[in-house]
């Protein structure tokens, strides 16, 4: 299996493609799925059964997950203050200890167990393992602390796990060459992983049916959306809060190898298999 070298275009708004210095790995992800920790906890067993069946049918998913509410709950229990700056958790070493414990421990292993209970095969990893996700401080690190931008993903590790027949389940932590840990926004991490592993599609599983727009006083999910429409909706306030990093990550990874990002409601029956069979579900963002 050949080793790959990539550079993720982390400058905001960059349209530069990823540079790939060698051939892609023999085993390629079918899609990358991003799901928040709270969304995963609420998903029915049928969702994981659908995921396990897809794997049995030869589909190769890669999962990147979050866990923000669980992190906040644990910080509160420990009496550690939580603060957000422009949607990013201000992360000290003390906060990072809890972030790592929750993401790489509790949430990651919960997802692995749920997949395996449904008949699938999964292997949990954090971005620190094998320097899987390599990071550097974000531009506003003075404000947010130990929050990272992704500069490289070791795609051969993901390909190796897939080649063994397992579904990689990745916690969004990063590490630099000096071993410094970083907290990475899960949407940003998923977008980077999707680009670096060469997946053509990223699926963002949420608790809403897609990007909503108000038409004649009624909110409905848009079947598709352009970059320009996203920017207009952010400016108007129709896209707000936690949906902003989701669409930003989608736009960013679409500059790489990913052809489309689909935002779907994970509670819909067999949402993954229906989507992969070509059914129009959720909101699709394309180049």
Which residues are annotated as part of the binding site for substrate? 67-68, 89, 183
- For 240, phi then psi, to 5°, come to -150, 170
Contact partners, residue 210, CB within 8 Å, separation at least 6: 221, 222, 223, 263, 264, 265, 282, 283
Angle between the N-to-C axes of helices 108-117 and 45-56, in degrees from 0 to 180, rounded to the nearest 10: 70
Contact partners, residue 11, CB within 8 Å, separation at least 6: none
- For 259, phi then psi, to 5°, come to -90, -30
* 127/22 Cα distance (integer angstroms): 22
Element housing 100 (H / E): helix 93-100
- Bridge partners, residue 215, by sequence: 218
User: Token pair of 98, please?
Assistant: 């809890």
Annotated binding site: which residue ranges? 67-68, 89, 183
> Per residue in 219-253, is it b (16+ CB within 10 Å) or e — as a string?
eebbeebeeebbeebeeeebbeeebbbbbbbbbbb
Contact partners, residue 109, CB within 8 Å, separation at least 6: 124
- Bridge partners, residue 133, by sequence: 153
């Amino acid at each position: 299996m050949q080793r790959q070298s990539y550079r993720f275009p982390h400058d905001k708004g960059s349209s530069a493609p990823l540079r790939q210095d060698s051939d892609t790995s023999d085993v390629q992800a079918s899609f990358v799925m991003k799901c928040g920790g709270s969304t995963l906890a609420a998903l029915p067993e049928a969702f994981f059964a659908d995921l396990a069946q897809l794997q049995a049918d030869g589909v190769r998913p890669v999962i990147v997950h979050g866990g923000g509410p669980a992190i906040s709950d644990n910080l509160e229990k420990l009496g550690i203050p939580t603060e957000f700056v422009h949607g990013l958790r201000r992360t000290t070493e003390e906060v990072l200890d809890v972030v790592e414990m929750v993401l790489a421990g509790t949430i990651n292993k919960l997802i692995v167990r749920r997949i395996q209970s449904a008949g699938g095969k999964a292997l949990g990893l954090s971005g620190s393992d094998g320097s899987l996700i390599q990071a550097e401080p974000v531009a506003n690190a003075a404000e947010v602390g130990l929050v990272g931008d992704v500069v490289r993903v070791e795609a051969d590790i993901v390909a190796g796990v897939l080649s063994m027949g397992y579904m990689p389940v990745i916690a969004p932590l990063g590490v630099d060459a000096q071993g410094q840990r970083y907290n990475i926004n899960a949407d940003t991490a998923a977008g980077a992983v999707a680009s670096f592993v060469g997946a053509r599609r990223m699926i963002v599983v949420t608790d809403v049916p897609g990007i909503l727009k108000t038409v004649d006083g009624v909110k409905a999910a848009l079947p598709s959306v352009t970059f320009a429409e996203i920017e207009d909706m952010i400016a108007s306030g129709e896209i707000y809060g936690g949906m902003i990093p989701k669409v930003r990550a989608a736009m960013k990874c679409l500059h790489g190898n990913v052809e489309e990002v689909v935002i779907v409601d994970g509670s819909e029956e067999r949402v993954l298999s229906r989507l992969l069979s070509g059914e129009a579900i959720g909101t699709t963002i394309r180049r």
